Amino acid sequence: MKFLLRPGWLALTLVVFAFAGSCFTLLAPWQFSRNTERETQNAALQASFVGAPKPLGELLPGGAAPDERTQWHLATVTGSYLPDAEVIARLRTVQGEAAFEVLTPFRQADGAVILIDRGYVRPNAKSRVPDYAAPPSGTVNLVTRIRVDENDPKSRDAFADASTDGKLHSYVVDSRVVGRATKLEIRPGYYQLDNGQPGVLDALPLPQTDAGPFFSYALQWIAFGAMALFGWAYFTIRELKPGGALTGDKQRRKSVAEILAEDESAPASQSEKAGQNH
């Protein structure tokens, strides 16, 4: 058992157990959580396809923030757009191509302000924001999809861009970022328009409702961790037997190179003996 304390074997043991531990406690649970998120999203989407739209105040009473349970549900709102406070979300990708999303605050009839995602526009020949239709003026009725605010890991604020006449730009679709930039008190979350709604541009496509590969990925990480432990156990048991590669005694197994060298030297030894006999 002394070989278990050798530096090389200790290093191997540390690597194997660290990898297996990561598989069981980090990688597999991460994929399981992603699978749960996908199932929650699919359930919300399916509910929105068959359920009738409800007033926003009924779905999110008291200005509550959207969560995974309420995301994608259809909500009705009445009010007017605030085009002077519009913000462009940049560095977006829609169906594999670059896009800008147009975010316009919307004041409801009760005075509360929400953020409407009017859809997207493609960059022009100069990779800038093209001209696009302004939202309708006056009071409009909208059917929107509730969305959870995005998070920017770098916590960047919106900024003015001279290429769009000073219009504000943001790196995420986040009501908090737009609220700070426009000095408006905007309710948490944002609200996405489907085709046919007043003020919509090119409507953002809805996510696919397939299960995704996350559950199988989680099982694969568990299998990888188990294989690493079984491999370590196999080689440990092998080294405990006589002739193990790490035992260092005279019964050590010969390497392939040593066997080949012996085979090559054997004919030469036989020739020398034959010459001596003559």
Q: Which residues pair with 159 in a beta bridge?
A: 169
Decide the pairing of beta strands 97-108 and 167-170. Answer: unpaired
Dump pLDDT digits (tens) for 144-163. 999 999 999 999 999 987 76
Dump pLDDT digits (tens) for 179-198. 999 999 999 999 999 999 99
Report the chain (278 residues): mean pLDDT per 10 consecutive residues.
70 90 92 82 72 90 89 94 95 94 96 97 91 95 95 92 80 96 96 96 84 84 92 82 53 57 63 55
CA distance 15 to 6: 14
CA distance 22 to 27: 6
Look at the block and give the residue holding tokens 């609220």. Answer: 179
- Give the residue among 57, 211, 84 at the shortest CA–CA distance from 146: 57
For residue 93, which amino acid is it?
Answer: T
The percentage of residues in the chain with a pLDDT greater than 90, rounded to a whole number, is: 56
Mean of pLDDT over the chain: 85
Apex 172 CA angle, 54 and 57, nearest 5? 20
Look at the block and give the residue holding tokens 């989680």. Answer: 218
Question: How distant, in Å, are the alpha carbons of 62, 101, 118, 129 from that of 132?
Answer: 34, 11, 11, 9
